Each structure stands twice: as structure tokens, then as C-alpha cells.
Structure 1
Amino acid sequence: MRTLTAGRLLPLLGTLLAALLCALGPGAGTASAHAALTATDPATGSVVPTAPQRVTLTFSEGVLLTADSVRVLDPRGERVDEGRPTHVDGRSGTASVGLRGGLVDGTYTVAWQAVSADSHPVAGAFTFSVGAPSKTAAKVTTAEVDPTVDRLYGTARYAAYAGFALLVGGCVFAGVCRSSRPVQRVAVGGWIALFVSTAALLLLRGAYTSGKGPGSVLDLSLLGDVLNTKPGAALLSRLLLLSAAAVFLAVLFGSFARGDDGRTGQERRDVAFGLGVGGTVVATGLAATWAMAEHASAGLQTWLAMPVDVLHLLAVGVWLGGLAALLSTLWAGDPVPVAAVRRFSRLAFASVCVLVATGLYQSWRQVGSWGALTGTAYGRLLLIKAGLVVALVGVAFFSRRWTGRLTDRAEPRKARPAAKNPGAAKVPGSTGAPGGAKSPGSAKNPAGGKAAGGRTAAGGKGGTSPERAAQLARQQAALTKAAGKRRRDADEGRSGLRRSVLAETAVAVVLLAVTTLLTGTQPGRSETEQKQAGAARATAPAAGPAEARIPYDTGGPNGRGTATVRIDPARSGDNTLDVRVAGPDGQAVDVPQLEVSLTETRKKIGPLRTPLKRLSAGHWQATGLQLPMAGEWQLTLTVRTSDIDQITELRNVKIN
């Protein structure tokens, strides 16, 4: 059976990660809108008798507004909104903007663009009419995220997650298990990746939410708008926390790690306690910058979801970042005490328990139903993530078995350096080496021995040249490194642990990619609710004529009869009103006076009247009856059968 090495595993990992991103990336992008427009005032497509003072939009969840979040265009395509859009009564799920006075009749277009509470951009448009519909010259294109900006933003988000994991995991491994140069490189590399990616996210944020191209990344006005939003504040807070993290790294891997600061044992314990408290505060603050600006900050139970999200991220960092630290230590061949490996094993197990508990809650909160688990993009990604976690735990089981087989062994004693001439030092491969090969500086080697005339090959006399000494030192270092790798590979327990940890790390890289895609995908619960609302609208009874049969009795001679009032199509906007009057025998009859009006009593609209035109005996009709909105309308019918005999009847009709 062939051994799985880094040379074979890393290309396979890259191929798997690329295929996963290609397969899942487009699907995630199409479902990135997390806030849906649920209502508008004036209603979409409605006709209002007079111009409103404001336009108000209502969303399924909170949205973040900018100066251009709501734009209202008149029939000529000119803006008629004034002032900055605001939330109604402090409700984050609303957006309202004022309109200028003296608006002319016609069709108005409302273009809106906002950022949902979990940091994803949403946009759309609708129309309403004042007085009567008209042609409009307004042209609105819905802003979409620029593809290049979208890819750069997604890459930066992945780098931020990876940097956070490496930073937290590397520091925890150094403090709890073992500090070394490879662990320091992991932690510092994580800090650099997190800092650079956060700065990139802050610069790309304006272009990402406004739908502009990469050229707008350095637009200071967009950057100012971003800093006034919750995601922008979170990113800026992350940069400030990283400055504190830099000080923490300097102390952790500086004099404290070297132990040359002259502190006593108690003083070092006090410093270690301070580092633990300070590091926990900084790591929690960094995790909170995600929780306060993404899925946990919107939807159900935000008061619980945000701290749970912080715990989830910390567990991910401790586990996956610690794996990277352990792998780098094993790969470098540095001695790792068995006690340190076992401490990390226990720490990783605790992290997995926290990860599973918090992940189950997050899954319930974001998915909500078994159907959404397989019927939405978020649910399918969540299943992939769960499968990767199971695979990771399975590989970790083998790592724990290898950990149980570890034993501490004494490191081989290093050879003493040559007393005088560095060029005369023996290196592996000399007369004492296997095969009996001579050293590069042996007497028979003209490159290292004397040339004719008693001088050295480099022209010196009585010793080796500096160039030759440097070459021998490089050879010695290479041979020592190769010997160290042979000793490392000869330890079966550590070699097996290194391979299993490498496999864990490979799965963790893909797991982070799926997690990044999840943060950019609409939660399954929200997607299911939107689909159900759309299905309810699709299956609702089609709008059709509304009809009311109204018996009347004016009390005079020939004062009894029935009026049938028909409104077609009984929708907001233009309607036709048809009235037929019949006597007790069912025959059509004329009456001296007939009037019909409609009133929306809740919103105090009306009464709306329209003149009726007699078409034939007992048949009247009116066209162009404008009803501004849907709802329950009160129909008022007035019938006069003589100069003194008259009656008014009331009925309710449903307008769609």
C-alpha cells in the first residue's frame, strides 16, 4: 500500500477544493438575497387619487440604508424623492423616503437598494400611479454584484476565516501544548492573513454592496458609507483588535517563550495567566465581529444566536488552527513531548463537542425543517459540511490512536564541532560514512587538497578558503537535515501521527471553503418562507369580477326590485362598473335615479363616484373607475323610484 505523502495529497486537495468551489459557487450566488420585500405603500401597481407624501417599503428582515437606498422617479425619469431614507418608528425592516410637493399625475417608479441585516445586498423596483397610469421614461436596472468584485470578496472572506483559525489555534497550541518556531510561523501567518483580508474586505465592501466594479474600491465616498454600516463597523473593529493581537503575539513568542526575561516561577505563572485572559478577550472580540454582522445578527433569537456563533467560531479556531500548528511542528521534525500531544488531543475533543452542540442549534435556526435541509442550497451545503465534520472526526480517531502509541525518546547527541580548521571537519559520507566514500575535502580531491606549488585550490596558503568553508557548511546542513528526516521517519508513531494530522488538515481546508460558502448563501428557513409565500400567491384565486345582488324597497308604488352590481376585474387600478336593475318579476326596469360609490373605510379613501351611462332599459355602466388599492371596500347603492321615494343600501366587496 502506497504511503500518502504531502506531494500526493496537496495536488489532490487543490483539485477537490477547486471542483467544490466551481460546483457550489454559482448556486450560492443566486440565493444571496437574504431580505425580501414584503409590502409597499403605495402598493405595487396601485393607482392613488392624490400624490402621497412618502413612499414606504417593508422587508422580511432588517436592512441597512444609504443615501440612495430608495429613489423615486417621475414619468419623465427625474428624481422626486427628497431627504435620506429612514426606518419607520425605528423598525429596521422598513425604509421610507419623502416626496416633493406638487407631483403631476402619472406612473412613478421606485428603485430600491439596501443591505440585509446579515450583510448581503438586495435590490429591486416597482411602480405606482397618481390619478391614472401613464407612460414612463424611467429606466431602472437592478444593481448586481460585479463578478470580479464578488470573486475577490469571496476569496478575502475565505482568507479571513483561515487566518482567524490559524491565529487562534496557533496561540492556543503555543500556550497549552508547546511553543516553537513552526508554531510561531502558523500564528503570525494567521495574523497577517486576517489583517490583509480584513483590510481588503473593508475596501471591497462599497463596491460589493453598490454593484460597482473594481475601479470603485478606492472611492472614499463609498468607504465612508461602509463605515457607517454595521458590517463596516465590524471590520474596522476587527482591525483594531488585531493591533492588540500583535502585542499579544510579541509577548507570547518573545521573551516569555524564550524564558530569558529573568522572571521567577511565580512571576511567569502570573504572566501566563494574564496572557490567557488577554488572549481570550481578544479572540472572543474577533469572533464577535463575524457574529454581529452576519447570519447570527438577523432572524430568530439573535440574543442567543450571537454568543453561540462566537463559541462556534472559537471552537473551529482552536481545533483547526491547532491541527495546523501540530502538523507544522511534526513536519519540521521538532521534538514534541508526548504530554503536549495528548493535551492537544483532549483540547481538540472538547472543541469538537462545542462545535457539534453549537452547530446543531445553528442548523435548526437557519434551516428550520427537514424539507429545507434537502430542498434549499443552504441545506445542501450544510449536509456537505456535516459530512466533512464526520470525516474529520473519523480521521481524528486514528490520530488519537497514534497519539496513544507515542513515547518520548532521547534526541541523538550532536557531533562536536571541529577544533581548528572548519574545512577539515568530517561530514556524513566521509571515511566513517556508509560506503566508505571520501569527504569532499579529502587528499585525493583536488578541490579540497593542495594544488601544485603547495597552495590551496583557491590560491590561499595553509588553509581552506572562505568560499569553500561556506560550501562545506551548506553540505553539512543539508546532510544533517536529511539525517533528521530519516530519524523522524524511523519513528513509526510520530510518522503515523503526522500522516493522519496531514489528512485532518486537508479536510479542514475544504471544510473552511464550505463554511465560507454558507455565510454567503440564503438560510434555508428564509428561502422556504419566501417559496411558501410565492406559492400562496400563485394558488390564490385569480382576480375576477366582484358581484353584489342588492334587493331594495323604496316604499312607494313600484318601489321594489333588485340591483345587480358587477365590478370587473375587481383589481386595484382601472375597473368597469356594470349595474342591472330588475323588478319583482325579474324584468328589467328603469328608475329615475341610480348612484354607486365605493369607500375604503379603514384608510378613509373615498367615497369614489363615477357617472353611470344608461345603455338600455334597466342597464347602466361606467368605465374607468380607478380603485387605488386592494382591500375590503364598502359599496353604496342609492336608488330613487319617485320624487320622494329613495333608499340607500350598503354592501362590502373584495378588491384584489
Structure 2
Amino acid sequence: MKIRLYKWSFMAAVACAVLFVLAPISAFAHAYVVSSDPAANVVLDTSPAEFVIDFNEPLEEGFHEIAIIGPNGDNVADGKAGIDPNKPSRLSVAMQPDLPEGLYTAKWNVVSGDGHAISGTIPFQIGKEASNSNLPIHPSTDGGNSFPDWSLVLVRWLFYGGTAGYLGAVVFHAWLLPRRNNTWSERLRRRSRTVWLTGFIASTTSVLLSLPQQTASDAGGGWREAFDPVLWRQTLAYTTFGEIWKIQLLLLGGWLLWTLFLLRASRMTRPRLFPLGGAMVLSLGLLLTKAFIGHAATAEAQGIAVTADFLHLASALIWLGGVGALAYLLPVTTQHAAASRDHPSVSPENHLYWRAIRRFSILAFFMVAILLGTGVYNSLLHVPTLYSLTHTAYGRILLGKIALTLICLLLGGLSFLRGRRAEKSLNAGVWYEFGTGLVVLILAAVLANLPTAATTPGPAKLTERLDDGTKVTIYVTPNVVGTNLFQVYVHGPDGNLRNDVEQVTLELTSKEMDMGKTEIIFPGDSPPEARELMTMGGRWNVHVHILTKSLDRYDYDTELTVGNP
């Protein structure tokens, strides 16, 4: 047994190492503005014909709007905003002609590719005579970094908790109980049916409520907008969420019929694998649809990200559901075995109890291995730096989730040791593990509705070692849209600063869209720092050119990921 565990541990470690090596490119998840025309805080001589905003990713076709608020408080947009069919990441609206001088604010709201509604404001000015003292330094974005509404968390948590309980009861009868001993007492039937019905009702309620809840979020009007049939039709027809929700509704119909079949099959004294297997496939299918309307759906390697997200959640729910089944279903099973034993000298209930615990230990090991491996991948995808892990709401909540998961692992490890030694029953320890797992699911529901930490990578340090041993280090602070401090240090092979550098030139070009070229020059006889305005977030290519006093040249390219303020 120990050899097998060592073998499994080695395989799990190799899988985690592979995921680290294949570290994914960070996904920003929520859409963000990369440029606008007129640009933020610009002062125009004449009135523009339209207002155009370019985002980093395609937008959903429903629930988008731009309102241009003029000096007198009126909306001066001429008609409704529209998405460019040839460039689905561009939103524009026509403006009334011959607008008077003054301060203007474009208020926009869109639904990003992961299904979350975001909004913001972009100020600009017409006429140099108008006072620009009230213009902010940067455009603002509302809702992108705010804590999710309680209803978003509750609806998602209902689905997680219900599915965990349902899957746990299925796994309990299909695997944890030995087939030869797996007879269903009347008390076990009642408890199993209760778990399946409760889990199905909770998951179904979550799916059904998610439509009005998503509609309310996208419309920006709260729950008073949630049950408007016109807005429902817009959600179903023009958003990715609507398309996925219709698939979920079909799966719910099949899951309902199969659950009724499973409940009927549970009346038999011995369960059959066929109804149990079908119930698991349908519940996992519904779980898979959630991965297509979350952060993973906006990743560059979408297929890998969606698969990892599904496996991460499925393994967590099967593990937690199995713990709940041990706490709620296993005791009545062993009581039934004790009542039906033939010889007082034999203890079938004790044998059955610990055999089920050992089987769960094997299942839990594989689920935890998948959970940890996919968790590493997802963390690399959504949290690119240690700075973003500790300085964003997403990162801090992720740390809390990791801490509670480690507590669950510790409690599970103690249960595993008891199972190996067949000591006194687990009792309260299993309930503690299950309760902690439910709290972890709350944090998972919060993370699903927060923008990822990839939008705030923090100060950047770009280091390159050249062929002759020269080391070039570039610092960018605070590394967000707006004014940044760039510092360049060139060290020789001996580790000392080189004093023969005539000039260092940085040429920055956006990898997201054509924004032209930004050039930063550092003369060799000046302090190696300069301030430059970064006009958009995302990935930038940095071409570094170094010229020495002896006319030696060094050229190379590196990448800078700029965050949003």
C-alpha cells in the first residue's frame, strides 16, 4: 500500500511540475478599455462626430450603452450605441453636431466576455477656454473591482453546494460501499433520497435564478429589472450566458427525469450502477457548462483553461460530497449492518465502516491531486505576480480559500490515519471537514464573480542577460495605465554599472492592437530614469537598444504586461 501511495505522490508531483512548466498566459477576464476617441482628458478644438471605445476583447451584443453628458447635464449622444460588426471589441455612438464648449463625460456600460457587467466614465473637453480643473487624471471604471453583490454569491453557492451533495451520495453508493455488502436499509433509502432531492432542488433553483439575476446585473438596475420579459429576451438572444443557460435548461430536464429514475431504483434492496452512472454524467455535464461562462472562457488557450476549470470544480465537489456522505449516510449503513449480523463474535458494521473509509481515502487522493494540479494552473492563469496576489481582492480571497482548503486537507489526513489504523469512528471530525468545505465553496463563489488579479500585476522588473555577460534591468512603476516611471540599469559581467553606455532606447508597441510606437530615450550621461504615459493596459513588446561609446550595439525584445488603475 505504501509503495502505491509513493507512486501516486510521484505522479501527482510530476503533473504539478508540468503545469508549472506550461505556465499559461494570464487572462484578464473582465473586459477593459484600451483606447477611446476622443481620448480621456483630451481637449478638442471642435465637436467630434462620434465617440468610440475600443476594449481588449469582444463584447456581448446585449446591454451596452454610451451616454455623453454635457455641461448642462443633458445626454448629447445622437441615437443608440452599437458594436462594430467588423470589430466586436469596438463600441461607438454618434454625437449631436456643433456641441458647445465645456466639459463632457462619456458614461459607458458593457457586458464582457465572461458574462460580467462593467461600466465606467471617460472625461474630455471641447474648447480650450473651458476650465479643465475638474478633469480627472484617469478615466474611472465602476464595478470592475467592486465586491460582488450577495445575490451573485448566494446563487452560485447554491449550485456548488447542491451539486456536491448530489454527487457525494452517488459516489457513496457506486464506490464507497462494497458491492457485496451494499444493501439499502429503509433509513438509508430515506437519507439518500433526501440528499438527492435537496441537491437537485438547490442546483435547479440556482440555475433558474441565474437568469433574472444575470439580467439584473447586466441591466444595472438591480432586482427591479430582474423579471422584465423584454430584458430576459435580450439576455437569452444577445449574450453568451443566454446561450449557455438554454443548454443548462435542457440538461436540467434530463437530470430531473434521471433523478426520478434514480429515486425509483433506490427502493430496491441493492442499487444498480446504471442509474447511478447516468445521474453522475448529467450532473457533471451541467457543471461543465459553468466553465464556459466564467473567467476561463476568456483565456487565450480557452480549451485548456475551460477543461482545467471544470476538473478543478468537479474534483472539489466530489471530494466534499464524499465527506458529507461519510458524515450523513455511512452511520446508518453500519447501524443496519450491526442489526443484521448473524454471529455475535463477528463485527460486520466495523468492517464495513473502515472499508468504506479506506475506499474514500483512495478516491480523495485522486480528487485532491486533480484539485491541486488544476489549482496551480488556474492560479498562474489569473494571478500573474506575488504583488497581485497580495494587493487585489481576488488574490487575498484566493489566499483565504487556499488556507481553508489546507485545513480540509489536514482534517482529511487525520481521518486517513484513523482509517489505516481502524481506530474510533470519525464522528465530529468529518462534520468539521464538511463545514469547512462549505465555507470554501462560498469563497469560490466570490472568486467567480470578481475580476482576476491579472489586471493588477504591480511594479514590473524586466531582466535580461546578454551574450557577453552584460545584465540589463528595467523597472516600471507603478506599471498601470497612466504616467509611469521607467528606470534602466546596465551592469557589466563584473556586476558593476557600465560607464561606457552612450544611450539606451526603449521602443514600446502594444500587442493588443495598433497603437503606434512609444519611444523612451535614456542618455548615458543622465539619470537612468524617465516618465512616460502608458495609454492602455495589456501586453506590450519592449524593444531594447543599447549603444556604447565605442559604438557597440545590443538589441533584444522583452514583454511588459501593463495593469489597469
Give CA-to-partner distance per residue, 1:399-444, whole Å, 9 cap, x none: 12332345xxxxxxxxxxxxxxxxxxxxxxxxxxxxxxxxxxxxxx
- Judge conservation of contact 1:164–1:190 (CA < 8 Å) in 2: yes
Match of 1:82, SS? coil
- Judge conservation of contact 1:330–1:498 (CA < 8 Å) in 2: no
Give the aligned residue type for 2:411.
V
Give the aligned residue type for 1:229.
T
Is the counterpart of residue 249 in structure 1 residue 266 in structure 2? no
- Judge conservation of contact 2:110–2:117 (CA < 8 Å) in 1: yes
The offset of 1:57, in angstroms, is: 1.0
Give the aligned residue type for 1:516.
A
- Within 2, Cα distance between the matches of 1:167 and 1:530? 45
TM-score by length of 1: 0.56
Is the counterpart of residue 385 in structure 1 residue 401 in structure 2? yes
Compared CA separation, residues 504 and 341, structure 1 to 2 (3 A): same
Give the aligned residue type for 1:250.
L
- Judge conservation of contact 1:106–1:131 (CA < 8 Å) in 2: yes
Compared CA separation, residues 284 and 233, structure 1 to 2 (3 A): same
The offset of 1:143, in angstroms, is: 7.2
Task: Give the corresponding residue for 1:427.
Answer: none
The offset of 1:103, in angstroms, is: 4.3
Task: Give the corresponding residue for 1:117.
Answer: 113
The one of 242, 247, 268 aligned to 1:258 = 268
Match of 2:62, SS? coil
Task: Give the corresponding residue for 1:72.
Answer: 68
Match of 1:45, SS? coil
Is the counterpart of residue 199 in structure 1 residue 208 in structure 2? yes
- Within 1, Cα distance between the matches of 2:234 and 2:85? 20
The one of 469, 483, 493 aligned to 1:538 = 483
The offset of 1:309, in angstroms, is: 0.6
Compared CA separation, residues 75 and 95, structure 1 to 2 (3 A): farther
The offset of 1:381, in angstroms, is: 1.8
Task: Give the corresponding residue for 1:513.
Answer: 442
TM-score by length of 2: 0.64
Task: Give the corresponding residue for 1:169.
Answer: 168
Task: Give the corresponding residue for 1:86.
Answer: 83
My pick for the range that moved more, 240-249 or 94-103, is 94-103
- Judge conservation of contact 1:324–1:505 (CA < 8 Å) in 2: yes
Point out which structure has higher relative CO (alpha carbons under 8 A, 6+ apart). 2
Instruction: Within 5 Å, give how 1:57-456 maps onto structure 2.
Output: 57-73=53-69, 77-87=74-84, 89-91=86-88, 94-99=89-94, 102-107=97-102, 108-129=104-125, 150-178=149-177, 180-181=188-189, 182-227=191-236, 228-255=238-265, 258=268, 272-273=273-274, 276=277, 278-332=278-332, 333-335=335-337, 337-338=352-353, 339-406=355-422
My pick for the range that moved more, 148-157 or 240-249, is 148-157
- Judge conservation of contact 2:29–2:296 (CA < 8 Å) in 1: no
Compared CA separation, residues 70 and 222, structure 1 to 2 (3 A): same
Give the aligned residue type for 1:321.
G
- Within 2, Cα distance between the matches of 1:284 and 1:506? 22
Compared CA separation, residues 395 and 540, structure 1 to 2 (3 A): closer
My pick for the range that moved more, 394-403 or 352-361, is 394-403
The offset of 1:39, in angstroms, is: 1.0
The offset of 1:280, in angstroms, is: 4.7
- Within 2, Cα distance between the matches of 1:109 and 1:530? 30
The offset of 1:192, in angstroms, is: 0.7
- Within 2, Cα distance between the matches of 1:135 and 1:78? 20
Give CA-to-partner distance per residue, 1:301-348, whole Å, 9 cap, x none: 222110111111110121111111221114545547344443222212
Task: Give the corresponding residue for 2:556.
Answer: none
- Within 2, Cα distance between the matches of 1:394 and 1:148? 30
- Within 2, Cα distance between the matches of 1:142 and 1:300? 24
The offset of 1:367, in angstroms, is: 0.7
Task: Give the corresponding residue for 1:411.
Answer: none
Task: Give the corresponding residue for 1:654.
Answer: none
Instruction: Within 5 Å, give how 1:16-27 maps onto structure 2.
Output: none
- Judge conservation of contact 1:248–1:275 (CA < 8 Å) in 2: no
Match of 2:79, SS? strand
Compared CA separation, residues 219 and 382, structure 1 to 2 (3 A): same
Give the aligned residue type for 1:507.
T
- Judge conservation of contact 1:315–1:355 (CA < 8 Å) in 2: yes
The one of 50, 56, 78 aligned to 2:52 = 56
The offset of 1:73, in angstroms, is: 4.4
The offset of 1:498, in angstroms, is: 2.5
The offset of 1:141, in angstroms, is: 11
RMSD: 3.6
Compared CA separation, residues 149 and 369, structure 1 to 2 (3 A): closer
Match of 1:96, SS? strand
The offset of 1:62, in angstroms, is: 4.2
Compared CA separation, residues 119 and 527, structure 1 to 2 (3 A): farther
- Judge conservation of contact 1:75–1:135 (CA < 8 Å) in 2: no
Give the aligned residue type for 1:239.
L
Unpaired segments of 5 or more residues in structure 2?
1-27, 133-138, 178-183, 338-348, 461-476, 487-514, 517-534, 536-565
Match of 2:376, SS? helix
The one of 451, 454, 475 aligned to 1:525 = 454
My pick for the range that moved more, 172-181 or 367-376, is 172-181
Match of 1:109, SS? strand
- Judge conservation of contact 1:157–1:516 (CA < 8 Å) in 2: yes
Match of 2:293, SS? coil
Match of 1:522, SS? coil
Compared CA separation, residues 141 and 65, structure 1 to 2 (3 A): farther
Q: Percent identity?
A: 27
- Within 2, Cα distance between the matches of 1:322 and 1:55? 55
Give the aligned residue type for 1:323.
V
- Judge conservation of contact 2:66–2:93 (CA < 8 Å) in 1: no
The offset of 1:33, in angstroms, is: 9.6
Compared CA separation, residues 195 and 519, structure 1 to 2 (3 A): same
Greater Rg by CA: 1
Is the counterpart of residue 500 in structure 1 residue 429 in structure 2? yes
- Judge conservation of contact 1:39–1:57 (CA < 8 Å) in 2: yes
Task: Give the corresponding residue for 1:46.
Answer: 42
Unpaired segments of 5 or more residues in structure 1?
1-31, 261-267, 407-491, 542-601, 604-629, 631-656
Give the aligned residue type for 1:399.
S
Q: How many residue pairs end up in the alignment? A: 410
Task: Give the corresponding residue for 1:414.
Answer: none
Compared CA separation, residues 325 and 315, structure 1 to 2 (3 A): same
